[in-house]
Structure formats: structure tokens, C-alpha cells
Amino acid sequence: MKPAAFLSVVRMPKPLQLYDNFTRTLRPFAPLQPGGDVGLYTCGPTVYDYQHIGNYRTFLFEDVLKRVLEWNGYRVRHVMNITDVGHLTSDADTGEDKMEKGARRTGKTAWEIAQLYTDAFVADLKQLNIEDPTVLCRATDHIREQIEFIADIEKNGFAYRTADGIYFDTAKQPDYGHLARLDVKGQEAGKRVDIGEKRSPTDFALWKFSPPGEMRQMEWDSPWGRGFPGWHIECSAMAQKYLGDYFDIHCGGEDHIPVHHTNEIAQTEARVGTRLANFWLHGYFLLSNDAKMAKSAGEFLRIQFLVDRGYDPLAYRYLCLTAHYRGQLNFTWDALDSAAIALDRMRNGVHALRDAGAASPDTALIDRFTDEINDDLNVPRALAVAWEALRGDLPPGVKRATLLKFDRIFGLGLAEWVPKLEAVPDAVTVLAEARLAARRAKDWAEADRLRTELHGAGWEMEDRPDGFVLKKRGQVRPPTEP
């Protein structure tokens, strides 16, 4: 009798799970639409100034999320807005419009600075290898959509008028503030803040009137009077236009939880009855000296500042990959140095495998890697798997293919990277040519002496059939863990 066939248990990688802040749970991710399309909305920059490296920590987390969705076979429709109007200096609808203030600071028009900082933002995204959104949309290009949205909110009974604008009546929504678990009643009872004509401290502006007798640079006619939209309405309006009434994932930084995203949800619920997105994910802050890094504080680090100090922008990307997105990260120069060294080692390690023949990635490692990234984007642990692959004893071709596949998530450009060859000083070329002549004359003692002299000058000579190549010594480090 034949032995019973073994039922081999095929181990499948873990399915994707994401931490949803709306339900405060880790939930298995499944797209709302059959067919593999995923709608993703991420709040973009307010373009009254450059973005600081803290902002980019959030954009990098969102980029990794998008890559992880793609890794799992989904097609991501990614919409990002550009806030170029309506964001007041206080998130509570008071103070000046950040754009008009930025215009005064720089002596340019609000329109000019919007363009200037949008261009700078897009250039930074490229430097950080952040994939372009499918749609990048400006608030000022969608004023009509915002007005229509507010008109519906008003029609549905969720808006009221004050002397300075049209406000959202948060008391009309029993579940207002659920995302942030806001204690609305507690705020009501406290009422220590001057709320002007607002009925409740949590009410927020949908449309602000231009101050009487004052000409704003950015203002439009509306059914309620000349003015400009509040900050939150742009995201509700553009998300609905490009992704529909209810889509898969909405992201931003953790500061968006209590005000901006809470109010986006309130508006969309008032118009179409949904909470906008099925999953709400937030990137935690980059701190500097253990305090929030903020543009409004006037002092902040830009990507260009890192580049001016000789860092590769991707060293900052690597640094962000070393921390889980749901924990704050304190920026230090030492941490950036360590990230730069680790990135250099990984690049050199992969470059050293460039001549290995074509091969397929190692399935077991890919599965382990997938387990980590699918566990709510655990990229730090996925990086550890990559180091293990680089240090391990897989055949070179398999090793290379595996690491390049991992790089679809890391986005470190490992496939394209080549060491920068430094300009060779003339004296070094003379030594190298003398050594080549000695070798050709089979004068091995002289060839060795010249090699030692080259080493002393900090250079390495690699012999080739048709001559030699010169490399700076110590440029290629072994692929060990940082």
C-alpha cells in the first residue's frame, strides 16, 4: 500500500493590517471596491513657507504606506491637496491667513509665494524619492466645489452665520469629535476661551468674509458674501471630487486628529452622511530637542539645509525608515550620521553584487519581509530582515534580487546607485602609470613598492586587462550591520 500523501502546509505571509485611529484598533485592510483599486487621501503642505524635515517625516510615512499597498497588489489612487488659502495662523479660525502673512514677510504676492513653495515642495519630494501623487490639487483651483459643499451643509441645517463668516454648528452632530475622542461637553462647561459669536468652542469656519474695507489678495464671491473658504472644507470637497463619498484611507500628521480631520469628518458627514474614509492613519511627529518641530516657531530644518551640510537627502529617508510611524522620533545629527553610514553600507553592499547573474529573490525572506511591512508598516523590522539578507550567505544573484525587491518599499534607489568616483590627482595618476609600466616589465618589486606608495596617498589601483582603475581607499565598506 502506498503511504498517504503528505499535506504540505504552505505558509502564507500575513495579510495587511493597519492601525485605524477612528476605531483605535488594528484592522485587516480590505479595499472598499472590488477589483483592487484603493483610494488614498493625504493632507498636503500649507505653502506659505518651505516644508521642514518634520513635515517630510509624515510624507515619507505616507509614501511607505502607498508602496506597501502596491506591494500587496493594489492600485493606489493617491490624492494630495496643496493648501494655498484659508489656513489661519491659529487652527481655531482666528488670526491671519498664513498665505497673506507669508506674502507680507517676503514682499511677494500670495499667489507668487504659493507657486514658489509648491515648486520647492515638489522638488523636495523628488529628492526624497517620494512617489508623485496621482492627483495634486490646489485649494484655490476648487473654490466652486467648496462653495457647493458649504451650500449643502447649510441646506442640511449644519451651518449658521456670524458677523465674520459662516460656521459649522458642531452641536448638531451627536458624534462630533469621535476621531479625537473629544470631550465636547467638557469644553462647553469650561468655556474659558473667548469664542466671539460662535455658539460652541468646537464650531469652525466654513467661509470667512473679507474684513470690511479691506482688499485681500485671495478672495472670491460666494452666496454669503465676498471672502475665502475655511481651511477644512478644501479637503472634504477635493476628497469627494476625486475619490467619492467614502474611500479607503485618509492620512496626515498626528496634529490633524483633534481639529482638521475631526472637522473634515463633520463636514462630509453633514453633506453625504459618511465619515469620509474607512481607515484613518496618522504619522507621529519628528521632534527636535524633544519639542515639536514647527514652521510657525520660525526656526526649522529644511531638506536643502541637510544637502548644504553634505548629506544625501536619502540619508534622511533612511533615518525615518528606522522608526515606526506610530511613535515620535527625536531628530539629532548623530542619528542622521548613523543613518548616512548605514545607507552607504547598504548601497555599497548591493553595488558589490552588481556582476552577479540574474536570479529570483529568496521566497522565505520575502515572506518574512512581507510579514513585517504588513504588520502595520513595521519598516524598522523589515530593515533588519534586509540587513540579514545582505550579511547572509545566499548566492550573490539571489541576494541582489531580494534586496532590490525590498527596495520597492524602502525607496533608497539601490538599483541605480554607483559610488562617486573622485577626481584623481595628477601625482596619483603618475604613480599608477609607473606601476603599470613596472608590471608590464615584470618588475614585481617596483610594482609592489608603487602600490604601497599609492596606498599611502589614499588610493587603490585595480588592474584591468587594458590598464587600471583608481578608487579612493575606504570608499567601499563591507556590508555589515550598522
**Chain residues in the site for Zn ion (CB under 5 A):** 43, 235
- Minimum distance between the CB of residue 252 and Zn ion, rounded to whole angstroms? 6
The DSSP line for 159-179 is EEEETTEEEE-GGG-TTTTTT
Nearer to ligand AMP by C-beta: 128 or 432? 128
CB nearer to ligand AMP: give 48 or 406: 48
Provide the CA 400 distance to its chain's centre, in angstroms.
26
Binder of residue 301, out of Zn ion, ligand AMP, none (CB less than 5 to 8 A by kind): none
CA distance 208 to 146: 12
CB of 282 to ligand AMP, least distance (A): 8
Q: Which does 235 bind (CB under 5 to 8 A by kind): ligand AMP, Zn ion, none?
A: Zn ion
- Of 244 and 313, the one with the shorter C-beta distance to Zn ion is 244
Of 260 and 368, which CB lies nearer to ligand AMP in the complex structure?
Answer: 260
Distance CA 26, CA 31 (A): 15
- 243 contacts: CB under 8 Å, gap ≥ 6: 39, 41, 77, 79
Query: 457647493: which residue's cell?
Result: 148
Query: Binding partner of residue 472 among ligand AMP, Zn ion, none, CB under 5 to 8 Å per kind?
Result: none
Q: Is residue 128 helix, strand or coil?
A: coil
For the bound state, the minimum distance from the C-beta of residue 87 to Zn ion, rounded and expressed in Å, comes to 10
Nearest to 64 by CA among 222, 251, 290: 251
Q: Where are the alpha helices (DSSP H) in 327-423?
A: 333-351, 363-374, 379-391, 396-410
Residue 379: closest CA among 406, 348, 340, 351: 406
With contact defined as beta carbons under 8 Å apart, do 124 and 136 qualify?
Answer: no
Sort residue 468 into left (φ over 0), alpha (ψ -120 to 50) or beta: beta
Q: Are 418 and 476 in contact (CB under 8 A)?
A: no
Q: Which is nearer to ligand AMP, 43 or 120 (CB)?
A: 43
CB of 51 to ligand AMP, least distance (A): 6
Q: Measured from the CB atom, is 43 or 366 closer to Zn ion?
A: 43
> Under the rule (CB under 6 A), what is the footprint of ligand AMP?
43, 45-46, 54-55, 57-58, 83, 252-253, 255-256, 283, 285-286, 292-293
**Nine-digit cell at 404?**
532590490
CB of 173 to ligand AMP, least distance (A): 23
The listed partner (Zn ion, ligand AMP, none) that binds 222, CB under 5 to 8 Å by sort, is none
Work out what residue 361 binds among Zn ion, ligand AMP, none; the CB cut-off runs from 5 to 8 Å by kind. Answer: none
Helix (H) or strand (E) holding 238: helix 233-243
Q: Of these partners, ligand AMP, Zn ion, none, which one is at the site of residue 320 (CB under 5 to 8 Å by kind)? A: none
Judged by beta carbon distances under 5 to 8 A according to partner kind, the member of ligand AMP, Zn ion, none in contact with residue 57 is ligand AMP
Q: What are phi and psi of 299, to 5 degrees?
A: -120, 115
Indicate which of Zn ion, ligand AMP, none lies near residue 151 (CB less than 5 to 8 Å, by partner kind): none
Q: Which is nearer to ligand AMP, 46 or 278 (CB)?
A: 46
Could you tell me if 228 and 208 are in contact, meaning their C-beta atoms sit under 8 angstroms apart?
Answer: yes
Q: How far is the CB of 111 from ligand AMP (least distance, A)?
A: 18
Residues 6+ apart with CB under 8 A from 42: 59, 62, 78, 79, 80, 133, 250, 251, 252
For helices 143-155 and 233-243, what crossing angle results, to 10°?
100
Least Å from the CB of residue 117 to ligand AMP: 9
Taking the complex as a whole, how short is the minimal distance between the CB of residue 81 and Zn ion, in angstroms?
6
Question: By Cβ distance, which residue is nearest to ligand AMP?
Answer: 253
Among residues 18 and 293, whose Cβ is nearest to ligand AMP?
A: 293
Smaller CB separation from ligand AMP, 67 or 400: 67
Residue with cell 449658521: 160
Task: Give me the least distance between CB of 260 and Zn ion, in Å please.
Answer: 5
Give which of Zn ion, ligand AMP, none residue 414 binds (C-beta under 5 to 8 Å, depending on kind): none
